[in-house]
Structure 1
Amino acid sequence: MSDWLAADRTDLAAERILDAAAELYSERGIAAVGMADVARAAGCSRATLYRYFENRRALQVALVHRETRRIGSAVRADIADVHDPGERIVAVVESALARVRAEPLLVMWFRTDNAGITSDLANSSAVIEGFAANFFAGLGISDADPSPAARWFVRVIVSLLAMPGADAAEERTMLEQFVVPAVLGRIPS
């Protein structure tokens, strides 16, 4: 009985630390927050923090993965009724952009002073790549290795978050003119 309780407590402690880090990142910026700051905000010792997250990068990765899973689930729900492949491509990007832009924590990752951290995480995260790869698989792209296309798709979304269009209409036009044809060209006819 104590095994499941210990696992549950571990999950709760990790979530509490991630919540504290998220709040600090929103207030101060990602690069400005140290592990001691997070431990203090989470109400734990640095030793406890390091028991869950070996360093700042591990903490950042865990937070990004948690948010990617959450946003990914919401995007899947948003596009569930969109069946046309071209519209589905546009809908997934628009949904992801809207959901990220609606949250101060997530917007923080795309500020200029955080660009290096964000770029590194976006390019190296198996969770982020997996979200995009699953989307491509759902379109019927039959590549043996969807990773290159998935990484490109992540870069499209990240670039629109870092350098948004003038408005939603301009972004939609760019997606329809450039992204949709590039992706649809990969679907076997």
Structure 2
Amino acid sequence: MSFPREHRPRKVRSVTQAATATVVDRLLHAAQKLLAANGIRATTVSEVAEEAGVSRAWLYRHFPDKTTLLGAALVRLTDAFWTDARRELDTIDDFAEQLAAGVRIGRGAYDDPGALLIRLRAEEPEEFALCTGAGVSGLIPDLASFWRPYVEAAAARGEIHPDHDLAEVSEWVARVLISLGTIHGDTIDPDDRAAVLSHVRRFILPGLTADPGAS
């Protein structure tokens, strides 16, 4: 039994598109694995092709060079990280708890292969900028933008004084979380959730609930 002629091209295109998507997924997965293990400089096109089980010629059919390939892998890694972070934070309706969770999530970015953005920006800023088109300077604005909806929700719940500039609060939150998550000190263990939450409640929230216009 044969299908009508007009249906054949559509089926061929569908199969071809599915095959292409599978190859691209394998290449990006392989690139992500090697980025997590080796970083940007030490990851080569040949290694990615070998890890994905395809030839270099087949890889180049989908990605013209290493920069494009690793840039696509970094974008997918970053999207996965922020999606997972939002999924977790959206289940919490207390701003202090969200901030404490944010420190833990941020620290996980250094170990989780699905969240290489912060680590690679810090360790290989030039290579990262080349691959993604955004340098280290974009980290604070990106993180502030991520936290802005949670800051707005906290303000609506009365956890942030209404006279605060929420854009400024979002950037301050981004800077505080990076500091807590990356810089060890003598009085707080960033891996101790209770200690981080206590720090947030004693030092961070009072600044947010205070009237910014008070002397």
TM bracket, shorter-chain basis: 0.5 to 0.7
Q: Which residue of 1 aligns with 2:152?
A: 140
- Taking the TM superposition and a 5 Å limit, the aligned residue runs for 1:90-169 are 90-98=100-108, 100-103=109-112, 106=115, 110=119, 114-117=123-126, 120=129, 121=132, 123=135, 133-140=145-152, 153=174, 163-165=182-184, 167=189, 168-169=191-192
RMSD: 4.6
Q: Could you say if the C-alpha distance between residues 111 and 11 of structure 1 is closer, same or farther in structure 2, counting changes exceeding 3 Å?
A: closer
TM-score normalised by length of structure 2? 0.59
Percent sequence identity is 23
Number of residue equivalences: 183
Structure 2 CA distance, aligned partners of 1:111 and 1:35? 18
Deviation of the 1:169 alpha carbon? 4.3
- Does residue 1:172 correspond to 2:196, yes or no? yes
Deviation of the 1:19 alpha carbon? 1.8
Q: Could you say if the C-alpha distance between residues 130 and 123 of structure 1 is closer, same or farther in structure 2, counting changes exceeding 3 Å?
A: same
Q: Which residue of 2 aligns with 1:19?
A: 29
Unaligned runs of 5+ in 1: none
Q: Which residue of 2 aligns with 1:50?
A: 60
Residues 35 and 46, structure 1, Cα contact 8 Å, conserved in 2: yes
Residue type at the aligned position of 1:16 = R
Residue type at the aligned position of 1:172 = V
Q: Could you say if the C-alpha distance between residues 53 and 77 of structure 1 is closer, same or farther in structure 2, counting changes exceeding 3 Å?
A: same
Unaligned runs of 5+ in 2: 1-10, 156-166, 211-215
Structure 2 CA distance, aligned partners of 1:38 and 1:57? 12
Greater fraction of residues in helix: 1
Q: Could you say if the C-alpha distance between residues 16 and 95 of structure 1 is closer, same or farther in structure 2, counting changes exceeding 3 Å?
A: same
Residues 36 and 46, structure 1, Cα contact 8 Å, conserved in 2: yes
